[in-house]
Amino acid sequence: MQDAINNPLKIIHQENGKVKYVGKNATVVLNKENKVITTWATSKEGWKGGKK
């Protein structure tokens, strides 16, 4: 999650001040107060704990 915010591949501004950060391993959506609304992994490395 943190890498998606710090090193995004793409930043998408959405309605109501939301911002979507698309990273290498995860996507994160923050509200206008920079609080996480939702997040999801986009690869195995994005899952907490990584590969099994």
**What is the predicted pLDDT for the residue at 49?**
55
One pLDDT digit (tens) per residue for the chain, 52 residues: 899 999 999 999 999 999 999 999 999 999 999 999 999 998 877 776 555 4
**What is the predicted pLDDT for the residue at 36?**
96
Count of domains for the chain: 1
**What is the predicted pLDDT for the residue at 46?**
74
Query: Which range marks the domain in which residue 37 is found?
Result: 2-43
**What is the predicted pLDDT for the residue at 44?**
78
> Is 52 among the domain residues?
no
> Is 36 among the domain residues?
yes
> Is 38 among the domain residues?
yes
> Is 49 among the domain residues?
no
Angle CA 22–46–31, to nearest 5:
45
What is the torsion angle, in degrees rounded to the nearest 10, for the CA atoms of residue 24, residue 22, residue 31 and residue 44?
Answer: -40
What's the predicted TM-score (pTM) here?
0.83
DSSP, collapsed to helix, strand or coil, labels residue 4 as helix
Amino acid at 1: M
Candidates 48, 4, 52, 49; CA nearest to 26 is 4
> Is 51 among the domain residues?
no
Whether residue 21 contacts residue 30, with contact meaning beta carbons closer than 8 Å, is answered with yes
